[in-house]
């Protein structure tokens, strides 16, 4: 293996060089230009390959973490490839090296390469597939005429200082603000072209951005309406005067339909001044598209004054040149600027070019008519939003509305199961909030409720109230209304899909049902709770195992006069059907819903009622806490094989003596058949939840004291019979049996979180029981 790195200053670096590991240890990540796939090869090249970088040795060593070189060429044998953009991860230093371009090809002969002006190896154009570049930014502008120095007003200087230092949370948003201004200029020009005949037609409406690391500049230029001298003074010399907002107001005053359909973004008139967050000096070259307009040059350092003069060789539109501050050099790196544009302004209406390459290629599907969007487009857009190229949307909701609010939205539910950390309420929302296709919040917490955090999507609304920086929402009734509208529509969408394809929905519910239960628990509105409850699915005593039903279908099967929906909670159907509470209830010939999830009980407790029917747990019904519910029939009189009244009273007295403070009372029941006893606690479900949360780490005696359980015994059960006889024959064994009877009943009631403390007594009980064998 012989690897050599060549530099422009004539120096070379091979494996014997001391600093070779600076590059050898880095891992190149190739992101293809002609395809969206990402190639992640290890750092390895073919024998006798040479890597040529258009930089010099000292730059690589001293500035290896700042992408100091502009381009490089990889020359190696192999199949002819295509252009790619590399990002080298320096494992030793934990940072990325980001050269600008890479070209790969098979022919390694020297006559296939040429030398550029800066000494970089390049490939002949006819041998290399290249991306067509289109750039209108030049340095041909010239300042002519007398410079006129003007002062900002005193209050304007104060506001300018606030905008530059305090208004925005991140200085990167200046790119968003300038692109928005450029988009507005294009929109104004488009409208004026339709209403006037004396303006140029046919030229493309575009936004171009150029960055230069050597000069440390950021330049943005548009082909929009441009500005006259008066507009330049009014708009640039006065903060908080929005030319875009004034333009929309003019359309409204004319009763123009364009006012409603306008894509104008600007509202506050402060976006331009965000340039001073990163720029020491800001220049503007502009020429209005109006006939016979002169070109002008505007320049300021943001300290309180600006210069205004005529200029020559200025293209129509507006060009802004920002001379970056020393600590803002990253905004002259193409890869960093590209990431910021794709984050904030990827869906702006006009094409955006960065150093000649169009970068906003993803379509804003939410603004497209739903019928015109294909399934493949939805898959691609979902993968773009979720940053997961291996998943597809399970459900897609494309929702548009103009009343009561203007909403353009697109929601996806992933096909995969939720990941463990997504269950946490601290997990971020998957909804990005836009206003007129400009990103406001990448993780909008207030637009949808927390329980819908598994949804991935976009909401775009012109009606949302923004603060001055356009980064935060005003806390208003309008935001709450927006959340209500979106939540209601999404729940209704799931209901429709549950009817259309029950099997597919059942699979979704099995994986994402925990979020729906959380929605019922967290919602403060009963109507919303009941809407979400329509999405719940349960097995039922009236249906065969595996078949699920819902609360609406349960209501349809209820007999005339019944007002209660009954449910019982246990981990499985087997445990439900073996429960003493279900045994005592099933003879009443009423349907019972089987709830297997831990959160089902809490959700139904919070729901309380559904469609004017009360939700009642079977345990609460057994405890006699019925309110206006129906009484459960109970067999009266003597039962065959049961203890006599006196014998039963003796057992009750004995249990009270043995268990003492563990019980509130001991009673006799005739509702049990195969079970010797059961525990009753008022509001059993709430008690279980209270035990698992507030009382989780409390002593067992304190828990029992708060629960005040009642033990109901079955006088006809053999165990109770044996307990009665053991009181005299074997008191020690009788005591162990009484305690085990109580613990078994507590476990059946779900009121014991940790049964391990009873193991020693259980061993003693078995030992005593086996003494005769």
Domain residue limits, the chain: 156-358, 365-497, 501-622, 645-771
Q: What is the pLDDT of residue 470?
A: 54
Q: Which residues partner with 319 through β-bridges? A: 221, 285
Residue 120 has pLDDT above 60, yes or no: no
Surface-to-core class of residue 111, CB atoms within 10 Å of its CB (0-12 exposed, 13-18 middle, 19+ buried): exposed
Tokens 């993780």: give the residue.
Answer: 443
Q: Is 177 annotated as a binding residue?
A: yes
Q: What is the pLDDT of residue 4?
A: 54
- Identify the top-confidence range among 182-186, 205-209, 404-408, 466-470: 205-209
Distance, in Å, from the CA atom of 756 to the CA atom of 749, rounded to the nearest integer, reads 17
Q: What is the pLDDT of residue 131?
A: 56
Q: Is 79 annotated as a binding residue?
A: no
Widest CA span in the chain: 121
Greater model confidence, 214 or 2: 214
- DSSP-derived 3-state class of residue 9: coil
Q: Is 270 annotated as a binding residue?
A: yes
pTM for the full model?
0.71
Distance, in Å, from the CA atom of 426 to the CA atom of 461, rounded to the nearest integer, reads 26
Confidence of residue 137 (pLDDT cuts 50, 70, 90): very high
* Mean pLDDT, residues 314-322 taken together: 94
Q: Is 243 annotated as a binding residue?
A: yes
Distance, in Å, from the CA atom of 192 to the CA atom of 289, rounded to the nearest integer, reads 10
* Mean pLDDT, residues 383-390 taken together: 88
Distance of alpha carbon 716 from the chain centroid: 59
Residue 98 has pLDDT above 60, yes or no: no
Distance, in Å, from the CA atom of 119 to the CA atom of 98, rounded to the nearest integer, reads 19
Residue 83 has pLDDT above 60, yes or no: no
Q: What is the pLDDT of residue 663?
A: 85
Kind plus residue range of the DSSP H or E element containing 336 = helix 334-344
Residue 96 has pLDDT above 80, yes or no: no
Tokens 């002259």: give the residue.
Answer: 332
Confidence of residue 624 (pLDDT cuts 50, 70, 90): low
Q: What is the pLDDT of residue 392?
A: 93
Identify whether 684 is preceded by a cis peptide bond (ω within 30 of 0): no
Show the tokens assigned to 424. Answer: 């946490």
Residue 471 has pLDDT above 50, yes or no: yes
Per residue in 14-43, pLDDT tens? 555 544 444 443 434 443 333 333 333 333
Q: What is the pLDDT of residue 195?
A: 84
Q: Tally Cβ neighbours within 10 Å of residue 143.
A: 17
Q: Is 267 annotated as a binding residue?
A: yes
> Is the CB of residue 286 less than 8 Å from the CB of residue 319?
yes
The sheet with strand 4-6 has its strands ordered as: 12-14, 4-6, 50-53, 72-75
Show the tokens assigned to 576. Answer: 């439900």
* Mean pLDDT, residues 174-185 taken together: 90
CATH topology of domain 501-622: Rossmann fold (3.40.50)
Q: What is the pLDDT of residue 165?
A: 62
Q: What are phi and psi of 22, to 5 degrees?
A: -55, -35
Q: Is 181 annotated as a binding residue?
A: yes
C-alpha closest to that of 629 among 613, 640, 642: 613
**53-57, 421-425, 448-452, 515-519: segment of lowest average pLDDT:** 53-57
Q: Is 331 annotated as a binding residue?
A: no
Q: Is 114 annotated as a binding residue?
A: no
* Mean pLDDT, residues 261-282 taken together: 69
* Mean pLDDT, residues 586-601 taken together: 87
645 vs 227, 650, 734, 737, CA distance in Å? 103, 9, 20, 21
Greater model confidence, 5 or 357: 357
* Mean pLDDT, residues 721-748 taken together: 88
Identify whether 455 is preceded by a cis peptide bond (ω within 30 of 0): no
The answer to whether the Cα torsion of 516, 520, 525, 526 is positive or negative is positive
| Percent share of the chain, pLDDT over 90 | 32
- DSSP-derived 3-state class of residue 536: coil
Greater model confidence, 164 or 467: 164
The pairing of strands 207-212 and 352-354 is parallel
544 vs 539, 549, 560, CA distance in Å? 8, 11, 24
Residue 622 has pLDDT above 80, yes or no: no
C-alpha closest to that of 289 among 265, 309, 321, 315: 315
DSSP letter at 717 equals S
Q: Is 268 annotated as a binding residue?
A: yes
Q: Is 269 annotated as a binding residue?
A: yes
Q: Which residues partner with 211 through β-bridges? A: 218
Confidence of residue 366 (pLDDT cuts 50, 70, 90): very high
Q: What is the pLDDT of residue 296?
A: 93
703 vs 620, 667, 677, 682, 740, CA distance in Å? 19, 21, 20, 14, 18
| Count, residues in the chain | 773
CATH 3.40.50.300 is the classification of domain 365-497:
no
Radius of gyration of the chain (CA): 37
Residue 326 has pLDDT above 50, yes or no: yes
Helix locations, 642-717, DSSP H: 645-659, 684-692, 700-707
Q: Is 673 annotated as a binding residue?
A: no
* Mean pLDDT, residues 524-550 taken together: 94
Confidence of residue 47 (pLDDT cuts 50, 70, 90): very low
* Mean pLDDT, residues 382-409 taken together: 89
170 vs 117, 167, 415, CA distance in Å? 38, 9, 35
Q: What is the pLDDT of residue 643?
A: 80
Per residue in 240-256, pLDDT tens? 444 444 544 555 555 54
Residue 97 has pLDDT above 80, yes or no: no
Architecture of domain 156-358: 2-Layer Sandwich (3.30)
In whole numbers, what is the pLDDT of the chain averaged over residues?
Answer: 77
| Percent share of the chain, pLDDT over 70 | 72
* Mean pLDDT, residues 283-289 taken together: 94
- DSSP-derived 3-state class of residue 296: strand
Q: Which residues partner with 222 through β-bridges? A: 207, 318
Confidence of residue 414 (pLDDT cuts 50, 70, 90): very high
DSSP secondary structure of 194-228: HH-SSS--S----EEEEEETTTTEEEEEE-S----
Q: What is the pLDDT of residue 249?
A: 53
Per residue in 475-533, pLDDT tens? 577 888 888 999 999 999 999 999 999 999 999 999 999 999 999 999 999 999 999 99
Confidence of residue 114 (pLDDT cuts 50, 70, 90): very low
Q: Tally Cβ neighbours within 10 Å of residue 663.
A: 18
Q: Tally Cβ neighbours within 10 Å of residue 252.
A: 12
Q: Which residues partner with 538 through β-bridges? A: 549
Q: What is the pLDDT of residue 157?
A: 65
Residue 402 has pLDDT above 80, yes or no: yes
Q: What is the pLDDT of residue 475?
A: 58
Show the tokens assigned to 202. Answer: 């046919």
In CATH, what class is 645-771? mainly alpha
566: Cβ contacts below 8 Å, ≥ 6 apart: 585, 590, 591, 592, 593, 616, 617, 618, 621
């Amino acid at each position: 293996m012989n690897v050599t790195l060549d530099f422009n200053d004539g120096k070379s670096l091979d494996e014997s060089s001391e600093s070779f590991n600076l590059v050898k240890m880095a891992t190149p990540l190739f992101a293809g230009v002609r395809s969206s796939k990402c190639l992640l090869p290890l750092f390895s090249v073919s024998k006798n390959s040479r890597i040529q970088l258009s930089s010099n040795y000292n730059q690589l060593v001293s500035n290896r973490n700042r992408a100091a070189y502009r381009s490089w060429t990889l020359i190696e044998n192999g199949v002819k490839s295509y252009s790619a953009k590399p990002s080298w991860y320096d494992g030793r230093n934990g940072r990325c090296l980001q050269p600008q371009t890479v070209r790969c090809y098979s022919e390694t002969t020297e006559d296939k390469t040429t030398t550029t002006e800066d000494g970089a190896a390049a490939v002949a154009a006819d041998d290399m597939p290249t991306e067509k570049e289109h750039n209108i930014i030049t340095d041909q502008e010239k300042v002519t005429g007398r410079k006129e120095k003007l002062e900002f007003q005193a209050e304007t200087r104060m506001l300018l200082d606030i905008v530059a230092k305090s208004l925005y949370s991140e200085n990167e948003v200046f790119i968003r603000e300038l692109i928005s201004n450029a988009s507005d200029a294009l929109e104004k020009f488009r409208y004026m072209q339709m209403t006037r005949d004396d303006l140029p037609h046919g030229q493309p409406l575009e936004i171009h951005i150029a960055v230069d690391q050597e000069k440390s500049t950021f330049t943005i230029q548009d082909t929009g309406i441009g500005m006259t001298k008066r507009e330049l003074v009014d708009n640039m010399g006065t903060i908080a005067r929005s030319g875009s907002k004034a333009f929309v107001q003019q359309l409204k005053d004319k009763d123009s339909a364009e006012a409603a359909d306008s894509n104008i973004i600007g509202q506050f008139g402060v976006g331009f001044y965000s340039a001073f967050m990163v720029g020491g000096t800001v220049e503007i070259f502009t020429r209005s598209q109006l006939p016979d307009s002169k070109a002008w040059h505007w320049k300021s350092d943001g300290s309180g004054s600006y210069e205004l003069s005529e200029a020559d060789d200025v293209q129509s539109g507006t060009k802004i040149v920002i001379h970056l501050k020393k600590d803002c050099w990253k905004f002259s790196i193409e890869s960093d600027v590209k990431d910021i544009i794709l984050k904030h302004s990827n869906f702006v209406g006009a094409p955006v070019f960065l150093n000649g390459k169009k970068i906003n290629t993803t379509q804003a599907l939410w603004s497209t008519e739903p019928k015109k969007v294909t399934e493949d487009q939805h898959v691609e857009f979902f993968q773009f939003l979720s940053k997961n190229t291996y998943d597809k949307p399970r459900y897609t909701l494309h929702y548009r509305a103009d009343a009561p609010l203007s909403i353009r939205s697109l929601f996806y539910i992933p096909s995969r199961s939720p990941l463990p950390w997504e269950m946490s309420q601290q997990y971020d929302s998957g909804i990005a909030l836009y206003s007129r296709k400009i990103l406001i919040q990448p993780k909008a917490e207030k637009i949808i409720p927390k329980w819908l955090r598994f949804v991935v999507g976009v909401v775009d609304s012109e009606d949302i109230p923004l603060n001055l920086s356009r980064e935060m929402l005003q806390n208003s009734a309008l935001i709450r209304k927006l959340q209500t509208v979106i939540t209601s529509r999404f729940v209704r969408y799931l209901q429709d899909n549950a009817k259309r394809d029950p099997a597919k929905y059942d699979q979704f519910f099995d994986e994402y049902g925990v979020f729906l239960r959380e929605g019922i628990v967290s919602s403060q509105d009963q109507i919303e709770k009941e809407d979400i409850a329509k999405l719940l699915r349960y097995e039922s005593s009236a249906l065969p195992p595996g078949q699920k039903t819902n609360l609406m279908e349960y209501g349809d099967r209820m007999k005339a006069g019944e007002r209660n929906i009954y449910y019982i909670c246990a981990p499985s159907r087997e445990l439900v059907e073996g429960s003493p509470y279900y045994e005592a209830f099933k003879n009443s010939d009423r349907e019972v819903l089987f709830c297997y999830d831990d959160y089902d009980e809490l959700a139904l407790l919070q729901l309380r009622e559904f469609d004017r029917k009360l939700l009642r747990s079977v345990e609460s019904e057994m405890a006699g806490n019925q309110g206006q519910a129906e009484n459960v029939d109970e067999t009266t009189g003597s039962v065959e094989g049961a203890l006599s009244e006196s014998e039963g009273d003796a057992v009750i007295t004995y249990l009270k003596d043995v268990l003492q403070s563990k019980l509130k009372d001991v009673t006799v029941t005739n509702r049990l058949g195969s079970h010797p006893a059961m525990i009753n606690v008022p509001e059993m479900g709430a008690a279980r939840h209270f035990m698992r949360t507030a009382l989780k780490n409390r002593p067992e005696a304190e828990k029992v004291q708060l629960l005040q359980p009642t033990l109901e015994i079955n006088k006809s059960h053999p165990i109770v019979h044996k307990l009665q006889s053991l009181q005299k024959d074997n008191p020690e064994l009788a005591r162990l049996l009484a305690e085990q009877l109580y613990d078994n009943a507590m476990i059946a009631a779900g009121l014991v979180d940790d049964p391990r403390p009873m193991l020693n007594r259980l061993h003693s009980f078995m030992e005593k029981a086996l003494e005769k064998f």
